[in-house]
Amino acid sequence: MIQVQNIYKSFSGRTVLRDVSLDIQEGSTQAIIGQSGSGKSVLMKHLIGLLRPDQGRVLVDDVDIGTIDYQQLRKVRRQFGVLFQGGALFDSMDAFENIAFPLRTFTTKTDEEVRHEVQKCLDLVRLSNIGTKKTDELSGGMRKRVALARAIALRPRYIIYDEPTSGLDPETSNTINDLIKGLAHQLEITSIVVTHDMHSVLQIADRVAFIHNTRMHWNGTVDELHESSDQILRAFVKANEYIIAPRYSSNNQESSEVTQ
């Protein structure tokens, strides 16, 4: 379980997070939503200790990751897989090597076992025959899927998605959403999705946390989100509606095609 307790964070005197608290339950899919620049990605970086809060605590399985030393922090981080916004694939390696990298670095698997594991990861993200492609030869959607395959290579307990659908066309976004949902189910993984895409949220999340003006403005389930009368939250959701309506209807159709 991940617990964020009353954290504050400022950069050069500008407050980005103010008294933010959040509990992320084991096995759930938690969405963190908010406008661009609202501090979502900053909160995400706190979860794996890439940033340390000015005040407050982040607990991963009751361990305060702000107070442990670097070696212990690295052990905590190995329980996480992270899909960065642009994929963050290592461009000095091809797609296969990117996925194999954590396996070669952190396990004692033989080359044959690594190849087998990489293939399993590629199957999970529904990609094939792209192993030897250089990262700059991959499309945006493929990059995200290779990055996702790399993130799940060590079978983490938690996976963090930073804007998983940004910059993707609606069809590819639906495929990624479908993958996130499928992986959470197949690998019994706790997922944290940082996004401003309400279409994704409605499709994949169990719980939603809304950050507004540096504060945790609203936190609840997707059903509670639908029923909420909070004006600011409704305004944020409504701003997405014109996108959600056509895509949500097409998504149902595409999801069934993918399943087939």
Site residues (CB under 8 A) for other proteins? Answer: 45, 48, 50, 70, 74-78, 80, 82, 84-86, 88-91, 102, 105-106, 154
Nearest distance in Å: CB 44, other proteins: 10
Of the two residues 102 and 141, which places its CB atom closer to other proteins in the complex? 102
Query: Shortest distance, CB of residue 148 to other proteins, whole angstroms?
Result: 12
Q: Which is nearer to other proteins, 94 or 178 (CB)?
A: 94
Q: CB count, 10 Å around CB of 143?
A: 21
**Residue nearer to other proteins on the CB measure, 106 or 250:** 106
Is 151 or 179 the residue whose CB approaches other proteins more closely?
A: 151
Please state the closest distance from residue 70 (CB atom) to other proteins, in A: 8
The smaller minimum CB distance to other proteins, of residues 76 and 222, is found at: 76
Cβ of residue 256: shortest distance to other proteins, in angstroms? 34
Report how far apart, in Å, the C-alpha atoms of 139 and of each of 130, 136, 149 are: 11, 8, 15
**Alpha-carbon distances of 241 from 29, 235, 237, 248, 260, rounded to whole Å:** 22, 10, 6, 10, 28
Which CB atom, from 80 or from 236, has the smaller least distance to other proteins?
80
Q: Minimum Å distance from CB 173 to other proteins?
A: 20
Taking the least distance from each CB to other proteins, the nearer of 75 and 226 is 75
In whole angstroms, the minimum distance from the beta carbon of 227 to other proteins comes to: 36
How many CB atoms within 10 Å of residue 68? Answer: 15
Minimum distance, C-beta of residue 95 to other proteins, in the bound complex (Å):
15
